[in-house]
Structure 1
C-alpha cells in the first residue's frame, strides 16, 4: 500500500491570522496577476504548423481551451473521484489525497527542499522582467500557457537567465472542479505553449491554488508531469486583494525570517503583478542567493525533453 503524507503548511494563518472560509473562497478565486490579457507591444507566439496539423486549429485558444484527444491518455486508469468546486471539501474520501482540502501529498509530489528556495507562479507578465533583473540565483517559475504565448519574449528571458520553468496549466482553473477532458485540455495546451515558445517539454507541474487530488494526479502523470506544491506560503496574493487590510508586506517578511531559522522549504510567491514582484525581490534579499530550483531540490531533470531551436 502506498502511504500518503499529510503535511502541515506554515503560513501566517498558523500564527492566528486565518481568514474566514467566506473570505478565503472570495479572494482565492482571483489568481495573483493571473491571466494577463493586455499585450500591447508584445508579439504573440506564432501558432505552429505542426499544431495546426494535429489539432486542425490555426490560433491559440482563449480561457477555455478545447479538448484534443491524445492516444497516451487512458481515462480507464483515472480513479473515479467526484469533481468539486473551490472551497468545498469532504466530497471524496481522504484516500483521494487532496492537497487543497487535507494537505495530503503523494510520494512523488515535491513539496519541500533542503534549502529555503523561492518559486513564482502565474507569469510571465510585464512585471516578471523586473524580477529577472534582480535575481542572482536560479529559481523556478510556474507559468500559465496563455501568458507564455502572449508574452513570449519575457518567457525566453526567463530561460536565457538560466531559470527553470514548469507548467501552471493553460489558464489557472481550479483543477478538481473540471472534467477529465478539461483537465487534459489545460495540460496539453500549456505544454504546447512551452513547446512552441521555448522548445521544451516540461517535467514539473504546479496546480493552481494547490488544488490537486489523485484524479488530477493520474492524468498529469500520463503526461509525464510531476506535481510541485509547497510548505511555505507568503500569501502575497492578499497584498493586491480588494481588502488591502488582509496582509501587509511586514507580515510577509516576518514569516520569511521565521522560515530562515529552519533553513529549508519551498516558498510560494507570484510574479503576476508589480506589487508581488517587489515583495519577491525583497524576500530574495532576505534569503540570499543560496537557493535551488525544484529540479535541484530532488535531484531531478529540468525538462522531459528539449528540442533543437528552429
Structure 2
C-alpha cells in the first residue's frame, strides 16, 4: 500500500512507522543543462520495525522526544551565521534563470565549485536514497567498498541496515533528511534538512558526516554556504545511470540494457563517479550487475580525494 508524501508530511516518524509504504515520486525533471533527476526520493518505512531510539542529548538540545516527519523543524544553532549566506533567490525544480550564473547552480548550469567532488581517478559506484530493505541485497552482493548517501529519515527507520553498511566498511554521507529540492527552500528549512540528517547519523552510527550529496544534484552557492557551516563537502557525479527511470510507468525512458551499454562506454575511460540508487530492488539489482561489469577496483568518495571518512567518530556506548 502506498501513501503520498503529502500525507506522510503530517505524521510524526512514530506515526509513519505504523504504516507500510514506499513512497516513490520519480517523474523526470528536465532542464537545458541536461542534469535531470526524479521528482522525489524513496522514503521507506515498515510495520513493527524498531527505530533508532531518540537520544536524551537530542531531547535536551531540541526539546523534542521523537524523530520528525518528512518536514523537520528548524532548530537554531550558534555556529550558523546567516550573514554569510548569499542572498540568492529560491527556485523550484526545473525552473532556472532565477539567479545569475555566478550562483553556480549544478542542476541548472552544471556548475561545480572548487571544493565540490564530482569525479574520481577510478570509475566508482555511489548509491543514493537508502537505507532500505533493498540495500541489504546490495550489501550481500558487494565485494568492494562503496559510498552510500543516506536519507536521515530512512536511517532512523532502518538502523539495522545502516549498521550493516558500516559493518561492511562502506562510507556513508548525508543525502538530507527527506530528499527535498533544496534551492526551493528557505535558509532555515535547508538547515533543518541537514541538521536532522546529521543527528540521525550520530544517533545511529555514532559519527558526523563529511560528505553531502544534494538531492537531484540541486545545489548553488546558497546551499553550499549552509552546508559548509556543518563541515560538509558536496559530492556530485560525472556519470548518471538514470536508473530511477526504470521505476516509472513509461518503460521507454530507460532500459537495463541501455544502462549497461553506458557502463561499458564509461569503463573505457576508467574514471568518474557513477550515480545509482539503492532505495528499490530493481535499481539495486542493476547496481549489482554494474558492479560485476566494473569489478572490485573501485574507490569510496573519501579515497577518491584522499579525504577522511567522517568529521568525527564517537565511542559507542556499551
TM-score computed with the length of structure 2 as normaliser: 0.88
CA distance in 1: counterparts of 2:73 and 2:48, whole angstroms: 27
CA-CA distance at 1:30 after TM superposition: 2.5
CA distance in 1: counterparts of 2:275 and 2:261, whole angstroms: 15
CA distance in 2: counterparts of 1:299 and 1:35, whole angstroms: 32
Whether contact under 8 Å (2:123, 2:272) holds in the other structure is yes
CA distance in 1: counterparts of 2:31 and 2:72, whole angstroms: 30
CA-CA distance at 1:40 after TM superposition: 2.6
CA distance in 2: counterparts of 1:20 and 1:295, whole angstroms: 30
CA distance in 1: counterparts of 2:241 and 2:271, whole angstroms: 15
Do residues 30 (structure 1) and 40 (structure 2) align?
yes
Secondary structure of the residue aligned to 2:312 is strand
Alignment root-mean-square deviation, CA? 1.7
CA-CA distance at 1:244 after TM superposition: 1.9
Match of 1:235 in 2: 242
Unaligned runs of 5+ in 2: 1-27
CA-CA distance at 1:115 after TM superposition: 0.0
Whether contact under 8 Å (2:125, 2:276) holds in the other structure is yes
When residues 307 and 278 of structure 1 are mapped into structure 2, their CA distance, relative to the original with a 3 A threshold, is same
Segments of 4+ moved more than 3 angstroms: 18-22, 24-27
Match of 1:277 in 2: 284
CA distance in 1: counterparts of 2:250 and 2:69, whole angstroms: 29
Question: What is the CA deviation profile of residues 138-190 of structure 1, one whole-angstrom value per residue up to 9, with x for unaligned ones?
Answer: 00000000000000000000000000000000000000000000000000000
Whether contact under 8 Å (2:123, 2:267) holds in the other structure is yes
Match of 1:111 in 2: 118
How many pairs does the alignment contain?
Answer: 289
When residues 92 and 20 of structure 1 are mapped into structure 2, their CA distance, relative to the original with a 3 A threshold, is closer
Unaligned runs of 5+ in 1: 1-17
| 1:113-262 mapped onto 2 (5 Å cutoff) | 113-262=120-269
Secondary structure of the residue aligned to 2:133 is coil
CA-CA distance at 1:19 after TM superposition: 8.7
Match of 2:75 in 1: 68
Do residues 46 (structure 1) and 56 (structure 2) align?
no
